[in-house]
Every structure is written in C-alpha cells, then in structure tokens.
Structure 1
Amino acid sequence: MSSDVPASGPRLNEPAPDFEAVTTHGKRTLSDYRGRWLVLFSHPSDFTPVCTTEFMAFARAHDAFQALNCDLLGLSIDSVFSHVAWTRNIQEKFDVAIPFPIIEDLSMKVAHAYGMIQPGASDTSAVRALYVIDPEGILRAMLYYPMSNGRSVDEVLRLVDAMQMSDAHHVATPEGWRRGDKVIVPPPKTSEDAMARMSEAEECVDWYFCTKDAPVPA
C-alpha cells in the first residue's frame, strides 16, 4: 500500500475488519471474541515510556474490563519476541503483569485494515488508535491519540460501561456518565409524544431533555 494514499479504515456501526494474527498468547482471530466486547488498541512501539504507562494502566484495569464481558487486545508492528521481552521487562521493573495478548503486525496488515497507519504521523508505526467492538463484531467506537500523549484507560472503561447501558435499556448517557448517574431518555419523535412527555414521570427540563434513574443491572 502506498504511503501517500491513506487507508480508508473501518467505519462506525459496520462490521470490524476481520483478522488472523500471531500474538503473545498464540493465534487470535476476530471471531475468537464473538459474544464478548473487545477493546483493540495499537501503540507506536515497544520499550517506549508513554506506551509502557498505557499498558500498565490497561493491565491494572483488566479485571474491571472482564467484569463488563470485555477483552483487551494490544497491537504494534513489533515482533512477538519484542512484545514478550517488553512485557517481561514491565513485570521486572514495575511489578505489573500484562494479562492480555499483543498482536505481532510486522506486515502491518491489521494496522492498515484498521486505519492505524497515519502518514501524517508515521509511515512505519501504528498511531495510538483504539477500537471498541461489540459482541456481534460491529465497530462501535474509535479513539485516536497523538504519539506524544497517553490515553485515559479509565475513560475507555467508562465508555464501554456506558455503551452497554445504552444497548441494554435504550437510553443515552450524558457527558462523564458513570454507573449510578441518571441516564437520558431518548427525545420524542412526534409533537404528540413531546406533549405527553412533559406529563410523564421522567425529570424533564424541556420536552427534548429528560432524565431518569439508571436501570439497575440484573
């Protein structure tokens, strides 16, 4: 693929690009994650400080993601041997074990399929891209960060939790929503429904902005 022609990359609410890849935990395919949520995230390079902080944060949040039926899968274009050496170094120097697989993508096949290679940032490294894929294999969210700045793993966890709330109960969530906060009732689509909305039990500031207590998870 020519470096001066950017990949079109995946699109929201469409099937995520399929892949088969070698990882630090053996071969992985997208279909291996069917029935579970998946956070697939790329980093520019092993043995770099910003990436190290991100991987430690993802490792510490691993159990919280698992509680949301969500797996983690890292990627860089480094070899699996480099990945293994780096994760061992993280455990030795920082006492943090990396419990999730990391894709080896020397061919950049997966990186190109997901639009992780951004010529304006680098032709030879994957940028800090992150994709949330739902249990049906549909791409639901994408986040891109510059090479110089680490991502907020807490925000990724919050986002997955919020999307699951929206899917399960057909509601929206406001800025910064966390479990236990009120949720947003979808706006009515007709004038008649708008009139009725104001007399219902939801807390309405106006016909288009109504909230209610979040449903309690089963």
Structure 2
Amino acid sequence: MVNLGDVFPNFTAESTIGTLDLHSYLGDKWGILFSHPADYTPVCTTELGRVAKLAPEFTKRNFKMLAVSCDSVKDHLGWIKDIEAYNCLSGEFPFPIVADEKRELAVKLGMLDPEEKDAAGMPLTARAVFLIGPDKKLKLSILYPATTGRNFDEVLRVIDSLQLTAEKKVATPADWKAGENCMVIPSIPSAEARELFPEHKVHQVPSGKEYLRTTPCPK
C-alpha cells in the first residue's frame, strides 16, 4: 500500500504506447493512474470512455492520464476499438493502458479485490484511483470495488481542491466546487487571516470557538 505523502513507486511496464517508465512519463506534470479488473468488461468500457471524453479537462489541469488492466497489450489494443465504438469516440485514444498480466502492479499497489474473482478464480483488480503530484508524491487515493464504476466528475472536483489548497492557505468544505467559498485553515491566526482574506467571515457557534471561517475562493 502507498500512503498519502509517500513518493509513488516508480515502475517500468509494457503499455499501448510501448515500454513506459511511470516517473519519466509523468515528467513535471500531475498524474492520474486508474486501474481496471480486466479488458472487455462492461463497466471498465464505460469508465475508459468517460475518461477519454474528459481528456481536455485533465489536460487543462496539467495532468497526464494512465490506465492499467490485468491483460496483455494485444488485448488492450483490441479493447480500445470497442471502447471507441461504444462511447462514440473519434481521433487518437488520449492515454496509454499498461499491461499487468501477472498482477504484479495490482499486488504492489494494494489494488486486489478479494471478493471478486475471474473465471479462473483469481482476484480481480479493484478500481483504484491514484492522484500523483509533480513531486511524485501520492496526493489522493480512492478504492472502489470491481462492481462499482467510478465518478470521474468527482475526481475532477477533488483535483480542483488539491491544486487550490496546494497553493493557498484554505481548505474546501463538503460538496465544494471550483469557485465556491472556502474555509480558512485553523492554523492561520486571526490577524494573519484578516490580512490574507480581508473578506472572510467568522461564523458564531454555541462553543464560542472561532474556528469556522469562510472566505471567497482565492484566485
């Protein structure tokens, strides 16, 4: 397992664009690595299609995308044709798919789903999402069971929060969306908060503690 803040393990593997070294592939950009139980499976086909359609949104946020599935590159290349057809995609497929036939990456990164197995009785890879910063450290991980497709609009929302809070001294509240009010982080003293966030509001609560401070989203 990789913990938040750890340097994400580098690996070299075969992919649909050839041999790929993760850290070299990401360069100085953010990265999203998302795993799939198997090729030619229905939920995965919808997910890869959705991410392909969202590729401009990830690019706008300085992200490189990478999928991994426990089948061969040959299978990946055939499967991509189905993904494109089902999801009405055109043009070049926007991200590579890594082959993990021996499930080495799935084991290394803690992505196996013990409750779901393939026809041979092997555990399927769970639906993991890893967001990796330009410093190669893990910024977020989400793990779904094999039976549940991911919400990539939520992933984009989280990315907006991560990139904002990496630069500004704020946190984002429940259900926050880009541009909405943020929370002043508790470690900022009142005097500094007034200087940094002159429009911020302190919310009065029964405890009398002035820890709930909202501010317009910093630009």
Task: Please give the TM-score of this superposition, normalised by the length of structure 1.
Answer: 0.87
Distance (Å, rounded) in 2 between the aligned partners of 1:187 and 1:86: 49
Give the Cα–Cα distance (whole angstroms) in 1 for the partners of residues 186 and 57 of structure 2.
Answer: 32
CA deviation vs aligned residue, 1:171-212 (integer Å, no higher than 9, x gap): 1111121111011100147xxx45986996411114111111
For residue 137 of structure 1, what is the amino acid of its counterpart? K
Residue 89 of structure 1: SS of its match in structure 2? helix
> Would you say 1:82 and 2:75 are equivalent positions?
yes
Aligned to 1:6: none
Which one has the bigger strand percentage?
2
Does 1:12 find its partner at 2:30? Answer: no
Structure 1 CA distance for aligned equivalents of residues 9 and 28 of structure 2: 16
Equivalent residues of 2:34, 2:67 under 8 A apart: yes
The C-alpha deviation readout for 1:38-74, integer Å capped at 9, x for no partner, is 1101011111111111111101111100000011110
Q: Is the 8 A contact 2:113 2:146 kept in 1?
A: no
The whole-number CA distance in structure 2 between the counterparts of 1:171 and 1:82 is: 45
- Residue 182 of structure 2 corresponds to residue 183 of structure 1: yes
* Amino acid in the other structure paired with 1:22: E
2:126 is aligned to 127
**Local SS of the residue matching 2:94:** coil
> How far did residue 129 of structure 1 move?
0.9
**Coordinate RMSD, CA, aligned:** 2.0
5 Å matches for 1:10-49?
10-32=2-24, 33-49=26-42
The equivalent residue for 1:58 is 51
Equivalent AA in structure 1 for residue 158 of structure 2: L
Q: Give structure 2 stretches of 5+ with no counterpart.
A: 205-209
For the 8 Å contact 2:36–2:125, the answer to whether it is kept is yes
Instruction: Give the residue type in structure 1 aligned to 2:212.
Output: F
CA distance in 1, matches of 2:193, 2:2: 38
Q: Secondary structure at the match of 2:2?
A: coil
Question: Using a 3 Å threshold, how does the CA distance of structure 1 residues 198 and 209 change in structure 2: closer, same or farther?
Answer: farther
Q: In the alignment, which residue of structure 2 is the partner of 1:4?
A: none
User: Equivalent residue for 2:217?
Assistant: 214
Correspondence 1:188-207 to 2 at 5 A = 188=187, 193=189, 201-206=199-204, 207=210
The alignment-based identity, stated in percent, is 33
Structure 1 residues without counterparts, runs of 5 or longer? 1-8
